[in-house]
A and B are shown apart, each in its own frame.
Chain A
Amino acid sequence: MIAPLFKFGVFGDETSLVLAFLIGIGFGFFLERAGFGSARKLVSQFYLNDLAVFKVMFTAIVTAMLGVTYLAWLGVLDLSLVYLVPTYLVPQIIGGLVLGFGFVIGGYCPGTSVAATATGKIDGLIFFLGVFAGTILFAEAFPLVKPLYSATPLGQTTIPRYFSLPYGLVVFAVVLMAVGGFAGAGWVEKKMASRAQS
């Protein structure tokens, strides 16, 4: 968000830190207002009662993807300059599973645990301390983890590039997947609600 302005020297390190802090506060505020500061709300997606998290995530993905696509189409954004985090397939799948298990067990993901802590929730604070301890443990044990950490490298790749598919087609497929997912999520929520009533 602030990267291009920082890069072009509109402001320096200190200002970028202040802006990052303000953006973080804004992000946390909207997470909390959306109800994502409550573990009950967050884990109810795993019981299929309330799929708000899924819908919010997919909405964010689709909005950002369409925005980026159209900005590139209009010539405002050079897609090839957008930094991509390199893909390491196996470690990233394992990382995803670890995060998922943590989410189910603890009721939060790292970001929402901070939002919950800020509103004084003790379970959020405990989760946040767990994240903190885990981060330190990972850093200390990094030499042991390193072979796995850098296994199966695919470089800075994307789905269109990896499968040699047209970029626009993948965009459309993701939109279809999201719309289908929303319809499916609505159907599941109704089903679970009627089951709960009966």
Chain B
Amino acid sequence: MRNWFSRLGTNQRLAVLALALGLAAAFARPTPGWTVRVNAQELAADLQRGGTVRAQELADWIVKGTTEFRVIDLRDETAFAAYHIPGAENVPLASLADSGIGHNEKVVLCADDGTRTAQAWFVMKALGFRNVHILAGGLDGWKGQAASPSLPAATTTPKIDLQVPSLPAGGSKTGSKKKKEGC
């Protein structure tokens, strides 16, 4: 074995090394569980900064086709199937840790209940997610302000059709859907 390796040139040795490291990586779990410390001061500072996204703002992102955010709907499956924000993903509170959301991805949380989103915000912050926001006014606010706004016709406010309840099961990434798909 040693003889065989010593007969190789530098390039071949590096290739063997890369293959060995690659092979080991194939069996590795690259993201072991991290221990996360909750920094109360940081949380408080975040709260002071607001950490919310207005319905109008979110509607604007969706209409523009921006992909750098994910809308996470915390309600149960039935409520989600009946109606959800276009492109939203249905993730129950308990599944937030292993939902596959990147820790630096911009997340907008929504639910009918303000308490639920606040709980999820804290859970996600504690799990090390950096860019978590709450949809101000929840889904009721969204329906009132963005989905069917009572604004003059001349404004460019995006209108999103509320009447398409049938949707394939399971969420998908925000932005990868068409704007008017499944509300």
- Complex partner residue of B175 from A73, A153, A172, CB under 8 angstroms: A153
- Complex partner residue of B26 from A154, A155, A157, A168, CB under 8 angstroms: A168
Q: 8 Å CB contacts to A: which residues of B109-137? A: 128, 130
Using A80-B31, A155-B174, A176-B22 as known contacts, say yes or no to A86 and B67 having CB atoms under 8 A apart. Answer: yes
* Contacting residues, chain B, for A83 (C-beta < 8 A): 104
Q: Is B168 an interface residue (CB 8 A)?
A: no
Interface SS, A side: helix
* Contacting residues, chain A, for B22 (C-beta < 8 A): 62, 66, 171-172, 174-176
Interface SS, B side: loop
Q: Is A143 an interface residue (CB 8 A)?
A: no
Q: Is A119 an interface residue (CB 8 A)?
A: no
- Chain B: interface size category: 20 to 34
Stretch at the interface among B13-21, B73-81, B153-161: B13-21
Q: Is A135 an interface residue (CB 8 A)?
A: no
Q: Is B57 an interface residue (CB 8 A)?
A: no
Find out whether the CB atom of B25 lies under 8 angstroms from the CB atom of A70. yes
Q: 8 Å CB contacts to B: which residues of A154-194? A: 154-157, 161, 166-169, 171-172, 174-176, 178-179, 182
* Contacting residues, chain B, for A73 (C-beta < 8 A): 25, 28-30, 32
- Complex partner residue of B128 from A78, A88, A178, CB under 8 angstroms: A78
Find out whether the CB atom of B31 lies under 8 angstroms from the CB atom of A79. yes
* Contacting residues, chain B, for A90 (C-beta < 8 A): none
Closest to A152 in B: B176
Which of B29, B30, B66 neighbours the largest number of chain A CB atoms within 10 Å of its CB? B30
Find out whether the CB atom of A172 lies under 8 angstroms from the CB atom of B130. no
Q: How many A-B residue pairs have CB under 8 A?
A: 96
How many chain-A residues does the 8 Å CB contact rule pick out? 35
Q: Is A72 an interface residue (CB 8 A)?
A: yes
* Contacting residues, chain B, for A166 (C-beta < 8 A): 26
> How far apart are A169's CB and chain B's nearest CB, in angstroms?
5
Using A75-B32, A155-B67, A168-B26 as known contacts, say yes or no to A70 and B21 having CB atoms under 8 A apart. Answer: yes
Q: Is B23 an interface residue (CB 8 A)?
A: yes
Chain B, residues 37-75, CB within 8 Å of chain A (1/0): the string is 000000000000000000000000000111110100000
* Contacting residues, chain B, for A79 (C-beta < 8 A): 30-31
Find out whether the CB atom of A168 lies under 8 angstroms from the CB atom of B25. yes
* Contacting residues, chain A, for B105 (C-beta < 8 A): 156
Which of B15, B66, B70, B128 neighbours the largest number of chain A CB atoms within 10 Å of its CB? B15
Partner-B contacts on A (CB < 8 A): 62, 66, 69-70, 72-73, 75, 78-84, 86, 88, 150, 153-157, 161, 166-169, 171-172, 174-176, 178-179, 182
